[in-house]
Structure 1
Amino acid sequence: MDMQTKASRRHILKWSGVGAGIMVAGSLLPNFGISTALGAELGDGDVGVLNYAYALEQLEAAFYIQVLETPFSSMQPNDHVILSSIRDHEIAHRDFLKKALGRHAIGGLEVDFSAVDFGSRASVLGTAEVFENLGVAAYNGAGQLIKNVDYLAAAGSIVSIEARHAAAISDLLRPYSAQSVGRGHVDAKGLDGALLPSQVLPKAAPFIKTPVTAASLA
């Protein structure tokens, strides 16, 4: 088998802190989540989808932990209560997915929040809004890839919480505004957006240092 034929056997979606793109390499990795010194492979099937969700929940949990450890100077009591609740939810989501994956779970991801000014309320809440709306779209888009109905039910329960988070953050940014009911994310039919992993991962890329590959997720 020549090198060109070998290369054509694998198209990996790769995302990392320096960007994202399609990388062509050798043969497929095993069909379960693994982590190596070089990064993490999400795996395929339901394991791949759960690891995908687990990676995003790791990112969100780490973000809110940092927000509360280094609060911006103008943080009001209501800000603190809401952000603390969201932090606790994201930690619970992260831990739930890790437990569900068991030995197939990818390792801990190294995050990069250098683009966020944690001393600025606008920067923190603006980033939170991006994460929450991305999370909603990610779960909506991944639902079609899940085969196990129990996992699908769990994902549905999580995405509804992510949507509540998005609404809460939007209201903190724009109190009493029509934009707090999903403007820009809900279509004319009243349906929320849905993005496939291939659309979500590049958007998360600037905040992740660990190279993550998805060999078979759409």
Structure 2
Amino acid sequence: MRKISDKLASALNDDHTSRRRFFRHAFTGVAVVAPVGVLAACGDMADMDHSVSANTDQQKTSAETDFTKSKQIFHEIMKDENEHVKFLQDNLKSAARPKPTFQKLEQADIQSFVNLSHTLENVGVGAYLFAAPAVSQKTILAAAGSILTIEARHAGFLGGLLQKPLSVNGAFDKPLTQAEIVKAASPFIASLNGGPDPSAPLKSDVDILNFALLLEFLEAEFYNVNVPKLFK
């Protein structure tokens, strides 16, 4: 088994992880769809339809405004994911996988971005929980744990923002299987660029870290593509 750099141990002592505040945003306004009325009431129905449409547009605008208020946090999450990539690359050194070519990551609007962000962060949590029991070196396990807690903070924040549970699994998070992780990530990967197949058995700590690096590459690219555009 390839030995990972002792830099992992010293890196854990750096107190650079920022504390985050997590908010919940309440969205107001409920659109009501009126039934079709009699001919004599057509004028009133037209007015009602106009009101419903305006209310729906207002609700969407309100939600996007609440998301936009979290601009600073999304920039912070982007920075975290880029630092995770660099950390794994620095410690894998020449054994680090190349960056894959990604696809379908650019989102058309803030709502779509936040929804996919929530999905990816929860995949990250499940992936680190999956990998942790297979890690043999304590320093690597500690490093993975420190990244896992940050992924969970991201996921909890996004859950609150979307008015969903902070944890999709309740009080105890659950690991995903390797197949589930690969299935979630595969639609966004156009090419592995010669990197190891994420479906292959993870036989060493190097394999595990490269598996984690693939996911961190994906998350970092997702934020790098969307955050500067949507949260200027």
TM tier, shorter chain?
0.5 to 0.7
Structure with larger Rg? 2
Q: Which amino acid counterpart does residue 99 of structure 1 have in structure 2?
A: D
CA contact (8 A) 2:103 2:190 kept: yes
CA contact (8 A) 1:198 1:217 kept: no
1:8-51 CA-to-partner distances (Å, cap 9, x unmatched) read: xxxxxxxxxxxxxxxxxxxxxxx88xxxxxxxxxxxx98xxxxx
Q: Which runs of 5+ in 1 are unaligned?
A: 1-30, 33-44, 47-72
TM-score, with length taken from structure 1: 0.58
Q: Secondary structure at the match of 1:195?
A: coil
Residue 80 of structure 2, aligned match among 77, 84, 89:
89
Give 1 or 2: higher strand fraction: 1
Residue 185 of structure 1, aligned match among 169, 181, 189:
169
TM-score, with length taken from structure 2: 0.55
Give 1 or 2: higher helix fraction: 2
CA contact (8 A) 1:111 1:209 kept: yes
Q: Which runs of 5+ in 2 are unaligned?
A: 5-60, 204-232
Root mean square deviation of aligned Cα: 2.5
- Please state how far the C-alpha of 1:195 moved relative to its aligned partner: 1.4
Residue 110 of structure 1, aligned match among 90, 95, 101:
101
1:152-191 equivalences in 2 (<5 Å): 152-174=141-163, 179-182=164-167, 184-186=168-170, 190-191=171-172
1:1-218 equivalences in 2 (<5 Å): 74=64, 77-113=68-104, 116=106, 118-174=107-163, 179-182=164-167, 184-186=168-170, 190-211=171-192, 212-214=196-198, 215-217=200-202
- Please state how far the C-alpha of 1:164 moved relative to its aligned partner: 0.3
CA contact (8 A) 1:79 1:172 kept: no
CA contact (8 A) 2:155 2:166 kept: no
CA contact (8 A) 1:98 1:105 kept: yes
Report the number of matched residues: 141
Identity %: 28
- Please state how far the C-alpha of 1:207 moved relative to its aligned partner: 0.8
Structure 2 CA distance for partners of 1:145 and 1:99, relative to 1, 3 Å: same
